[in-house]
Amino acid sequence: MIWTEIQKSLEGNKTRSVLTGLGIAWGIFILVLLVGMGRGFEEGVFKLFQGFSQSTVYIFATATTMENKGQPAGREIFFTSADLDYLKTTLPEIKLLSPETSKWCSVQTVSFETKGVAPSYFQLRNGK
């Protein structure tokens, strides 16, 4: 009974039935395409970052947020060569250490960052 009703409806509205079928097929095609592109993008990003800075710790010196022992809040903290030497001797687990300094510069309407790094920086960034 229901199958005959469906058949009559399909036969009576052939154009609408074909267009509906094409719309559903097109939707499924687009869905499969987008899911495939998303998975490919995900794998590409993971492959790009594979080995990138693994087992790496970054320590940034910034300004203090609270006062301490009479020193005001907002005081700039800077690392010295002595601090880096202390870390190397105190923690034998540190294989590579690279201090980094950077400054943003502007020339007319273009802004760019300049960095100063140690030779071991490139070994650290590439995860080798």
Full residue range of the structural domain in which residue 114 is found: 98-128
pLDDT exceeds 70 at position 52: no
In a domain, residue 121? The reply is yes
pLDDT for the residue 25: 96
CB-CB contact of 105 with 111 (8 Å):
yes
In a domain, residue 122? The reply is yes
Number of domains in the chain: 1
In a domain, residue 118? The reply is yes
pLDDT for the residue 28: 97
What is the tens place of the pLDDT at every residue in 81-125? 898 889 889 998 888 888 888 888 888 889 999 988 888 887 777
pLDDT exceeds 90 at position 29: yes
* CA dihedral of residues 17, 22, 28, 30 (deg, nearest 10): -150
What is the pTM for the complete model shown? 0.46
Give Dmax over CA atoms of the chain in angstroms: 90
Q: What is the mean pLDDT of residues 2-28?
A: 89
